[in-house]
Amino acid sequence: MRYAYPVEVSTEPDGITITCPDVPEMVTGGWGDLGANLDAAADALAMALSFYVEDGRPIPLASPPEGRAMVCVPTLAAAKL
In this predicted model, what pLDDT tens digit does every residue of 17-45 receive, in sequence order?
Answer: 999 999 999 999 999 899 999 999 999 99
Question: pLDDT-derived band of residue 1, with 50, 70 and 90 as boundaries?
Answer: low
Domain limits, the chain: 4-80
Q: What is the dihedral of CA 10, 30, 58, 69, to 10 degrees?
A: 40
Say whether pLDDT at 2 is over 80.
no
Secondary structure element (H or E) that encloses residue 29, with its range: strand 27-30
pLDDT tens digits for range 32-78:
899 999 999 999 999 999 999 999 999 999 999 999 999 999 888 88
In 3D space, the residue among 47, 13, 56 whose CA is nearest the CA of residue 28 turns out to be: 47
According to the CATH classification, is domain 4-80 in 3.90.1170.50?
no
The model carries a pTM of: 0.89
Cα angle 76-79-81, degrees, rounded to a multiple of 5: 120
